[in-house]
Amino acid sequence: MFEDLRNLYQDTIMQRGKSPKHGSRLAVFDAQAKGDNPMCGDRVHVFLRHEGGRVAELGFEARGCAISIASADLMAEAVAGQSDARALEIADAVFAMVRTGDITDPSLDLLRPLAAVSEAKSRIKCATLPWGALQSALAGSGAEKGSVEA
Amino acid sequence: MNALIKPAFDVARIRQDFPILGEKIRGKDLVFLDSAASAQKPRVVIDAMVHAMERQYANVHRGLHWMSERTTEAYEEVRDALAGLLNAPDRSHIVITHSSTEAMNLVAHSYGRGILKPGQAVVISAMEHHANLVPWQMLRDAHGIELRIAPITDAGELDMAGYEALLQDRKVGLVSITHMSNVLGTYTPAERIVQLAHRYGAKAMLDGSQAVVHRAVDVQALDVDFYAITGHKLYGPTGIGALYAKRELLDAMPPWMGGGDMIRSVSFEVTTWNDAPYKFEAGTPAILEGIGLKAAIDYVQGIGFEAIAAHERQLTEHALSCLAEIDGVTVIGHAQDRGGVVSFTMDGAHAHDVATLLDRQGVAVRAGHHCAEPLMRRLGVDSTSRASFGIYSTMEEVDALAAALVRIREFFR
Ligand SMILES: Cc1ncc(COP(=O)(O)O)c(C=O)c1O
């Protein structure tokens, strides 16, 4: 009944956009960064906790559309357990995917529901907003330990 | 033009004047409900610009040759057309700019820095487009002008008592308020706004970017000091707009941009200015756009604002009643006097998702903060979706919007 709408808004996007699993600030974190999209007012704040040189956990607070929130939520799962270097690689793969509509690395199938934004140019920024914040958080990794004001 | 010989308003015929309306989006008829952002262009505008480029083009105001003379003549006609559109006394009251944004920046710069004194205040309202807010913040910070914000009511109307209260200490030198909100559709009581400003010794500007598209504007009847408009919302091209101003103000105001065209004579020591309105027009103007805008003004005047307003009123009423019936959809703004702009939110769905899902069904609306972030804050929303109507919009398109919204609502369940 909704085939015309489903392509971009797959079940994963709808569910995670509505009830993200990782949509809260971490009680303890060692890296964080905010991202915003001034054209539309969407905002995300990403929090990371590392353990043994890897991302142990990612949480976020966001105000935005289903696509940006679902993207942040999928991101939390995609980078958990990864080294910073690998997390940045994944971010690069996402930035490429939203333009090409494809993701070549089979280990990143989880992120595939985001690929359809490549056909909705005006929404690419929504999908990449959390990933840009992740890049900033990792660039300043460890610089702001403890808790910060939101 | 004689009102009696105007043909009856026939939207099907009007649609044929707009080539783009025949386009399909993802195999569906385009339902274009985003005219408040920028309107589509009728064939006559396209043809006028193409004709100029193909047959009659050179720089204006300077060439001593046939092409330049003809082009100057064609270009200057837009000044008369604008004067006619706004009922200005004559073309010398019309400064041609590149947009209403530029028109308001011109006033903020020239009147703001040249005539207003530090310590004086400027009043805007809580429902201004950023174009009628940011220039005044810049003036405030550069020139020591106080910026005051007239409140609005929950219905989205100007709070007239609150507005008058801001004027009472007589520190206000200029009021600059929208004539029609691009978010709420509200028409402000322009005549009252101007009267009150004058009563307390202030000049008044109206941002007519939206209003001039939908109803007849008479700057002399309003007694307004400045009136800003932009061409692309009025079915004309982008890159052209205008400022109407009272002649004595233009004469008193200093130029704001320097360059060719705006000067009388130039030496390294002294330069003297051209007369108004030319002293405010530096550099080669938007020649083709001026020619296009002239054609657009002729076109809308040929239809007539009475017919346009009646048509858009019908569409707006229909939209308001359709949207009211959709569970979970809330219209933002309930002004008594309103035009063809309807903002709404949907419970549990972000405005961007709503706009994208409408687009999937062929319906084009705008979503976001509509260049009015402080207004969004005042209304307690992050963003809205906005449907806006033009002369070519139809009742069926409003139905298509409503049907598409019902589906989105289901989809989000
Ligand atoms: C009320 C209002 N004022 C000013 C503007 C600015 O118009 P422009 O961008 O053409 O200068 C707009 C256009 O969005 C508007 O709706």
Q: What is the pLDDT of residues B133-173, one digit of tens each?
A: 999 999 999 999 999 999 999 999 999 999 999 999 999 99
Rounded CA gap, B348 and B322, in Å? 20
Average pLDDT, whole number, for chain B?
94
A40 touches chain B (CB under 8 A): yes
- Other CB atoms within a 10 A radius of the CB of residue B40 amount to 21
DSSP state of B111: I
Distance CA B383, CA B371 (A): 10
Decide whether any atom of ligand 1 lies within 6 Å of the B316 Cβ.
no
Distance, in Å, from the CA atom of B293 to the CA atom of B83, rounded to the nearest integer, reads 13
Shared-domain flag, residues B296 and B311: no
My answer on whether B223 and B256 are in the same domain is yes
Tokens of A95: 């930035």
Do B297 and B312 have their domain in common?
no
Q: How far is CA B351 from CA A28, A63, B28, B384, in A?
A: 33, 12, 22, 5
Domain containing residue B401: 11-37+305-412
SS (H, E, C) B250-270: HHHCCCCCCCCCCEEEECCCC
Asked, for residue B3, whether it belongs to a domain, the answer is no
CA triple B359-B364-B365, angle to 5 deg: 110
| Structure token pair of residue B38 | 């920028």
Q: Is the pLDDT of residue B311 over 70?
A: yes
Do both B107 and B209 map to the same domain? yes
pLDDT less than 50: residues of chain A: 142-150
Average pLDDT over residues B306-332: 96
Which of B301, B330, B355 is the endpoint of a domain?
Answer: B301
Q: Which residue range is the domain that position A7 belongs to? A: 2-143
- Contacts of residue B243, Cβ cutoff 8 Å, sequence gap at least 6: B94, B95, B97, B103, B106, B107, B226, B227, B228, B280
User: Residue A112 sits in a domain of what CATH number?
Assistant: 3.90.1010.10
CB of A126 within 8 Å of any CB in chain B? yes
Residue B238 shares a structural domain with residue B341: no
Distance CA(B393)–CA(B396), nearest Å, equals 8
CATH code of the domain containing B368: 3.90.1150.10
Domain count, chain B: 2
Together in a domain, B146 and B104 = yes
Nearest to B185 by CA among B394, B366, B389, B367: B389
Q: B272 with B265: CB under 8 angstroms?
A: yes
Q: How many CA atoms lie within 13 A of B268 on its CB side?
A: 0
* Same domain (yes/no): B143, B225: yes
**Helix H segments across B91-245?**
100-106, 112-114, 134-143, 160-167, 190-199, 211-214, 219-222
Indicate whether B130 and B264 sit together in one domain.
yes
pLDDT of residue A143: 44
Question: Has residue B30 been placed in a domain?
Answer: yes
One domain, residues B273 and B323: no
Of A14, A39, A120, the CB nearest to B356: A120
- State the amino acid at position B182 in one-letter form: N
Q: What are phi and psi of B333, to 5 degrees?
A: 105, 125
Both tokens of residue A35?
A: 């991202």
pLDDT band at B6 (very low <50, low <70, confident <90, very high): low
Question: pLDDT value at position B206?
Answer: 98
pLDDT > 80? residue B122: yes
Let me know whether B255 and B321 are in one domain: no
Taking alpha carbons only, the member of A51, A53, A71 closest to residue A62 is: A71
Residues from B contacting A (CB-CB < 8 Å) are 26, 348-353, 356-357, 359-361, 367-369, 373, 376, 382-383, 407-408, 410-412
At B339 the pLDDT is 93
Domain edge (last residue) among B281, B301, B321: B301
Confidence label for B369 from pLDDT (cuts 50, 70 and 90): confident
**Residue B79 falls within a domain, yes or no?**
yes
Question: Rounded to an integer, what distance in angstroms lies between the CA atom of residue B189 and that of residue B224?
Answer: 12
Q: Assign B409 a pLDDT band (cuts: 50, 70, 90).
A: very high
Q: Does residue B99 sit in the same domain as residue B247?
A: yes
Does one domain contain both B114 and B66? yes
CA angle B317, B319, B323 (to 5 degrees): 120
Of B278, B301, B324, which closes a domain?
B301
- How many domains in chain A? 1
Dist. CA A63 → ligand 1 center (Å)? 26
The single residue listed with the structure tokens 């709420």 is B184
Q: Which of A133-147, B183-197, B332-346 has the lowest mean pLDDT?
A: A133-147
Q: Is residue A148 part of a domain?
A: no
pLDDT digits (tens, 9 = 90+) for B200-249: 999 999 999 999 999 999 999 999 999 999 999 999 999 999 999 999 99
Distance from CA of B303 to the nearest CA of A (A): 35
Enter the DSSP assignment of B9: P
What is the pLDDT at residue B194? 98
